[in-house]
Amino acid sequence: MEYDGSSFSGWQRQKDKVTVQGEVESGLSKILSQNVNLISSGRTDAGVHARHQVANFKTDRNIPPRDIKKALNSFLPKDVRIKSAQSVSLDFHARYSAKSKIYSYNIFTGEYISPFKARYFWHLSSDLDFYKMNKELKYILGRHDFINFQAKGSSVKDTERTISSVFLKKYGNYYNVFIEADGFLYKMVRFIVGTLIEVGRGKFEPKRLKSLLQPEGELRRGSVAPARGLFLWKVKY
């Protein structure tokens, strides 16, 4: 599925809040006439978007997946769409079967940003040093302890992750950061981007990302980047 997260309090079902999981489960329950519990590839925070979220559920109803997809899209709000549906083996798990995930982050620099793009970009009025930022990203490749890029409140004990691919694209005033890893900590991508931006602005010296990966590294990182620029780009199985 894909969704615009602007109007949602994130993916995970929450009492008295509008969430993507809640909307999809509600639609499925109407179609299947039974309660449905979705298992997703991972949670996205409030305001974060997805181009390729994956979720699975079990049902004893004999309805073809293509019909479930069509019916579900008729129940869902316009900012959520099911792209495809298929039957999978009983041992498939949307989260634990995933081999890696790719997140992308959008940045725009300039005096103003079009209102048609403001929901999906972090708008910065000052320009950025593309060369410095591109060079900086190489330091997070490989397996590292990303505890300094985890937001408070997380109960995760193992904070090591492997980043297999990372790159920065620039075309005009538009910047796109892509990061692929075997998993991500709470707000990890947004802290990486926030620190990267401070390097691109010249507020942090080069190798700031590298220093944050050291056990005795300096803990002063960049601010967390806004949710609106973040997309769950793809989940690989």
Name the residues annotated as catalytic. 45
**Half-sphere exposure (Cβ direction) of 200: Cα atoms closer than 13 Å:** 24
236 vs 100: CA distance, rounded Å: 5
140 vs 118: CA distance, rounded Å: 28
Residue 28 CB partners (closer than 8 Å, separation 6+): 36, 38, 57, 68, 72
Which tokens go with 92?
């498939």
Which tokens go with 4?
């615009």
Residue 84 CB partners (closer than 8 Å, separation 6+): 69
Residue 106 CB partners (closer than 8 Å, separation 6+): 120, 121, 122, 174, 175, 176, 229, 231
